[in-house]
Amino acid sequence: MSLTLDSTHALTLKSWVTSANEEGCDFPIQNLPYGRFRSIGSQDSLTVGIAIGRQILDLKLAADAPGWSQDVQVPLKVLATGDLNAFMAMGPTVHRSFRVGLSIALREGSSQQQALSRCLHEQSQVLMAVPCHIGDYTDFYTSIHHATTVGKQFRPDNPLLPNYQWIPIGYHGRASSIRASGTDFHRPRGQIKRPNSAEPILEPSEKLDYELELGWFVGKGNDFGCSIPLGEADQHLFGAVLFNDWSARDIQSWEYQPLGPFLSKNFASTVSPWIVTLDGLAPYRVPFTRLTSEPQPLPYLDSQVNREQGAFSITLEAWICTAKMKDEGIPAVRLSKSNTQRSTYWSPAQLVAHHTVNGCNLQAGDMLGSGTLSGPDAGEAGSLLEISEGGKRPLKLPSGEQRSFLADGDTLTLRGYCERDGYARIGFGEASATVLTTKAPF
């Protein structure tokens, strides 16, 4: 685990791709995130690209451009095949040298400008996909504020279970239903038991919710039976995306004991299409701290380096726009805003170390969800379950509507960005989807 800052993070860097130099841009030259795309309406294989301003550098086309150094050409050939997972598995040394080569090629005054300018696509003219193949997905529960608030609703007498402050809690989710931003989904159906009913019934969820999360992607995996020490965990992380783990709370409350979430979670999840790399996030590392009054992590989950720079400062927001708001031209309204430094009880490195301490083998492209990242204060709740207190205090919207949970036609959008004095602002783009009506049964 190390805080590696180099010339690619310099605030003074500008790109010959002029949209990357615009104030407030999510994808300046200091970011350089990876994603996969194809032309709209095309059935071509997915191509790996780099977001730069409002455009995408097509790495398949760029591989034929002159001027690349030898240490860039080798991974570029892999990326040109469309296999981002294979590149992720090559490890942080390769990732870092490739980032330097990309940065040099995209800077103002680059000798490669003329050749690479023919390798660009407008982001608005392509269809983005899930950024890599996700073989496995584990969702964690890293916000103690979310865990406590939700626990009070599900278990009023015992909101925070005794293991929470000792162990990163997680469950294995369903990777096959993870979709890229812009993919709408149908309201799920499942077993629901009403408080005063003797038996459950099968019907569409009435308590559909969003969850404001991050998804951390594994880069280089580990061998079966071998654990990853905390001090090496960063060497196995590639980067992060915004992640919305849509949740049917009424299905969840009936099914979650004794084995945890199942159908309440696996019907759909939404990710932003660009993986912001660990190298891109390096300037925004911050100390990972615990109150001295709280249990301190066991030795395999603790180190001085993790305490000094194990966390990240990432601002996260959730926005809603209902069907009525769209019809009336009312802009989306922000539901919540939080920061990972205030909301995360376990660091990404700790998630990796704990996930593998039993010998579990992670693979390139595996995703670790952070769980809902709610902060301690009002306005920092990362779900409607918390905002509406389980439906007791409906949220009033500018259209005159109220929401305790999501309605059909609602569009929910997550946004995220990093800011720090002396460094460029970088962003994650958006993770957005609209709730559609329930499909006819069977």
Mean pLDDT of 156-176: 91
Per-residue pLDDT tens for 206-227?
A: 999 999 999 999 999 999 999 9
pLDDT at residue 14 tops 60: yes
CATH of 7-128, one of 3.40.50.2300, 3.30.565.10, 2.30.30.230, 3.40.50.920: 2.30.30.230
pLDDT at residue 258 tops 70: yes
Mean pLDDT of 32-51: 95
Mean pLDDT of 159-171: 91
Beta strands 208-209 and 247-248 are antiparallel
Q: What is the mean pLDDT of the chain?
A: 95
- Phi, psi values for residue 124, rounded to 5°: -70, -10
pLDDT at residue 2 tops 60: no
Whether 177 and 267 have beta carbons less than 8 Å apart is answered as yes
Per-residue pLDDT tens for 131-142?
A: 999 999 999 999
Per-residue pLDDT tens for 335-351?
A: 999 999 999 999 999 99
Say how far apart CA 412 and CA 395 lie, in whole Å: 15
Q: Is 9 a catalytic residue?
A: no
Query: What is the architecture, at CATH level 2, of domain 137-436?
Result: Alpha-Beta Complex (3.90)
What are the tokens at 396? 């009033």
pLDDT at 150: 86
Domain map (residue ranges) of the chain: 7-128, 137-436
92: preceding bond cis by omega (within 30 degrees): no
pLDDT at residue 1 tops 50: no
DSSP readout, 298-333?
PGGG--HHHHHH-EE--EEEEEEE-HHHHHTTPPPE
Minimal CA–CA distance to 430: which of 51, 96, 73?
51
**pTM here?**
0.96
Give me the sign of the Cα torsion angle 358, 260, 379, 149: negative
Say how far apart CA 208 and CA 202 lie, in whole Å: 15
pLDDT at 226: 97
Mean pLDDT of 425-430: 98
Name, in order, each residue with C-beta under 8 angstroms of 86's C-beta and a sequence gap of 6 or more: 78, 364
pLDDT at residue 94 tops 50: yes
Per-residue pLDDT tens for 241-254?
A: 999 999 999 999 99
pLDDT at 3: 61
Say how far apart CA 151 and CA 159 lie, in whole Å: 4
Burial class (CB in 10 A: 0-12, 13-18, 19+), 210: buried
Given 9, 95, 145, 146, the catalytic residue: 146
